Amino acid sequence: MEKLFEEIKLLLKDLELPHLVKYVDDITSQIDKVHIAFIGEYNAGKSSLINTLLGQKVVAERDLPTTNRIVLVTHCPIEKKEKINPSTELICINDPKLEHIVLVDTPGASSAVKEHEETLLGYLHKADLVVVVAPSTQAYSKEIEELLKLLAEKHSTQLAYVINIFEAPDVYEEDPDKIKRLKEFVRERLREVLSSEDVDNTPIFAFSLRLIRKGDTNHPILTQEWEKFRRFIFEEIAEKAKRVKFAAIKEKLLKLLSGNELLDKRRKLENLEREREKWLQIKASTQNFASTVKNEKFSQIDEVLNELFYDLQKDVEEILAKYGSWEVIKNPSKVIEELEITIKGHFLENETLDRIKELLDYRPEFVRLKKIHPELVVEPTIPAGLDRLKEKLLKDIENLPYSAGKPGAVAKWVFPVALLVALGGGLLFALASQEDIKYLGIAIAAFGGIVALISLYKMLSARNQLYSRLTERVNNLRTYYSKTLKSYYNEQFTKKFNKVMDFIEGNIGRIKNSLDRLQKKLQRLEYLKEKLIKEA
């Protein structure tokens, strides 16, 4: 049994409930003795009742509320008095009747001294039997009711009730049913606080302690229940001491293990489960948010790039429409310079590049995320290399006219040379007398003619070639920057997003660890409760 108590205390310590560990210590100490506490308002006769039961004056009797501590009276081989702690005194007497009993005198329930009330409340959980002592002039009071409510709520303690007759004997002799009515009154009031079963199991005694102490036998109506009460304390309770003690401890522990403090732990477990579920939902929501944001961004990047390079293509077409192939061949620098000036002017005034820079800045998205989930920790850092990327795009656009080269520039010089070669070959054919020389002339003329024709074609199609090259370059830039900008955004956004996810995962992990630990402790609690229930 002691091992089970230690297991319960260890569990309560793990649950960070040190006051409940002390509670278990208190109620499981001296398991072979029954603690019988006498409570009631001051001057109700608690101390006198204890002394009368013992047949000697052991505890102090005063008319004023001076009992400021718990006084424990029990059997010891050596008689002694000792102070256990500031609020508890032990009196040992050599009385075999108390071998399995501790009689407990307590401060008055209605004491004006706050310290006395706190001392009483601090002891009640240790009592196995509480004997309420009340004067017949006020058989039930508000103070007694408050104490009984506390016992019913927090402690499983057996009750007995003693009505100490204060009035003169003739009051009861003239009205023999008065004691019966007093008991019925008390029992009805007890039903307002206790369960019907507890009330039915609570014996109520009525006698005049004053007459009993005098040894007066002339008024049996006021003394006849004394012997019954005495046997109840020293025979019935003492005889069942260990069983009563164990049953009381068992009931108290079961009530403790189902009490508010441990219900709070269960509520904490439920709160942790809700908290974990909340963070799992935040995780799923954040992942969906990231996926949606990236898809939207990629779509916006393509949209802006298409607009940018459409304008660029349009500028190329408009400029080249002004020139023929011969002008392109004759003065290519003029065409390229006009393209450069037009593109620079167009894009320096155009807000497209600024729009691209704004698109690549992920901070507004994380501000949105923070508004959706204020629990998240998001650092507003500036994306790295954003200005460099914008400058590189602008530079590549500015260099576009030069990237196409000068179509027809070589052909312009090759064409006349090729014509001369063809003409020379023709003259050689015409003037040669030998057959092989004639064939050589034909070959030279043919070669020169073919080269001349090719050069002529290149010169005539110089504008179209420039257009094709620039168009191809525009498309290549569009493809390149579509991949580059998306890759940049994905890398920067993901880097930032991973920090947010680390924060979320950290919270989920922390909650899960707390949840698992508390769950194991509460499972252990249920196991110990079952084990306690099965104990005989």
pLDDT tens digits, 34-68 = 889 999 888 889 999 999 999 999 998 865 555 56
What is the full DSSP assignment across 68-115?
A: -SEEEEEE-SS-EEEEEETTEEEEEE--GGGTTEEEEE---TT-S-HH
Give me the domain span that covers residue 508. Answer: 268-405+466-525
What is the full DSSP assignment across 243-307?
A: HHHHHHHHHHHHHHHTSHHHHHHHHHHHHHHHHHHHHHHHHHHHHHHHHHHHHHHHHHHHHHHHH
Question: What would the mean pLDDT of 401-420 be, rounded to a whole number?
Answer: 80
Contacts of 82 (CB under 8 A, 6+ apart): 89, 90, 92
More confidently predicted of 220 and 407: 220
User: In degrees, to the nearest 5, what angle opens at C-alpha 80 toward C-alphas 212 and 72?
Assistant: 55
Q: Could you tell me if 327 and 285 lie in one domain?
A: yes
Residue 30 pLDDT > 60: no
What is the full DSSP assignment across 350-392?
A: -SHHHHHHHHH--HHHHHHHHHH-TTS----PPPTTHHHHHHH
Q: Could you tell me if 147 and 54 lie in one domain?
A: yes
Q: Is residue 19 part of a domain?
A: no
What per-residue confidence (pLDDT) applies to 242?
Answer: 58
- Specify the pTM: 0.57
What per-residue confidence (pLDDT) applies to 161?
Answer: 96
Q: Is residue 16 part of a domain?
A: no
Q: Could you tell me if 363 and 416 lie in one domain?
A: no
Q: Is residue 11 part of a domain?
A: no
Count of alpha carbons within 13 angstroms of residue 287, beta-carbon side: 9
Residue 439 pLDDT > 70: yes
Q: Could you tell me if 131 and 225 lie in one domain?
A: yes
pLDDT tens digits, 3-28 = 888 888 888 888 888 888 887 777 67
Contacts of 413 (CB under 8 A, 6+ apart): none
Percentage of the chain exceeding pLDDT 70: 91
Of 536, 196, 496, whose CA–CA distance to 360 is shortest?
A: 496
Q: What is the pLDDT confidence band of residue 113, given thresholds at 50, 70 and 90?
A: very low
What per-residue confidence (pLDDT) applies to 5?
Answer: 80
pLDDT tens digits, 414-433 = 888 888 988 988 888 888 87
Q: Could you tell me if 76 and 125 lie in one domain?
A: yes
Sheet containing strand 158-164, edge to edge, reads 80-85, 88-93, 70-75, 101-105, 34-39, 129-135, 158-164, 204-207
Q: Could you tell me if 292 and 147 lie in one domain?
A: no
Q: Could you tell me if 197 and 322 lie in one domain?
A: no
pLDDT tens digits, 474-519 = 899 899 989 999 999 999 899 899 999 999 999 999 999 999 999 9
Q: What's the rounded Cα separation, in Å, for the pair 241 and 86? A: 28
Q: Is residue 382 part of a domain?
A: yes
Residue 29 pLDDT > 80: no
Question: What would the mean pLDDT of 437-462 be, rounded to a whole number?
Answer: 85
Of 38, 79, 47, whose CA–CA distance to 66 is shortest?
A: 47
Q: What is the pLDDT confidence band of residue 124, given thresholds at 50, 70 and 90?
A: confident
Q: Could you tell me if 219 and 340 lie in one domain?
A: no
Question: What would the mean pLDDT of 324-338 be, rounded to a whole number?
Answer: 80
Q: Is residue 295 part of a domain?
A: yes
What per-residue confidence (pLDDT) applies to 316?
Answer: 83
> How many separate domains does the chain show?
3
Q: Is residue 329 part of a domain?
A: yes
pLDDT tens digits, 135-149 = 999 999 988 898 888
Q: Could you tell me if 90 and 178 lie in one domain?
A: yes
Q: What is the pLDDT confidence band of residue 348, given thresholds at 50, 70 and 90?
A: low
Last-in-domain residue among 460, 481, 503: 460
Question: What would the mean pLDDT of 284-297 be, rounded to a whole number?
Answer: 94
Single-letter amino acid, residue 78: I
Least confident of 182-196, 447-461, 471-485: 447-461
Percentage of the chain exceeding pLDDT 90: 36
37 within 8 A of 124, measured Cβ to Cβ: yes
Q: Is residue 515 part of a domain?
A: yes
Residue 156 pLDDT > 70: no
Q: What is the pLDDT confidence band of residue 307, given thresholds at 50, 70 and 90?
A: confident
What per-residue confidence (pLDDT) applies to 245?
Answer: 62
Q: Could you tell me if 394 and 416 lie in one domain?
A: no
Of 180, 151, 46, 24, whose CA–CA distance to 104 is shortest?
A: 46
Average pLDDT in the chain: 85
* Range among 73-82, 200-209, 342-351, 432-441 with highest mean pLDDT value: 200-209
Contacts of 379 (CB under 8 A, 6+ apart): 496, 499
Q: What's the rounded Cα separation, in Å, for the pair 468 and 472? A: 6
Q: Could you tell me if 56 and 185 lie in one domain?
A: yes
Q: Could you tell me if 194 and 333 lie in one domain?
A: no
Q: What is the pLDDT confidence band of residue 112, given thresholds at 50, 70 and 90?
A: very low
CA dist list (Å): 331 to 289, 292, 416: 55, 51, 18
What is the CATH number for 184?
3.40.50.300
Question: What would the mean pLDDT of 254-280 be, rounded to a whole number?
Answer: 90
Q: Is residue 76 part of a domain?
A: yes
Q: What is the pLDDT confidence band of residue 202, given thresholds at 50, 70 and 90?
A: very high
What per-residue confidence (pLDDT) applies to 1?
Answer: 66
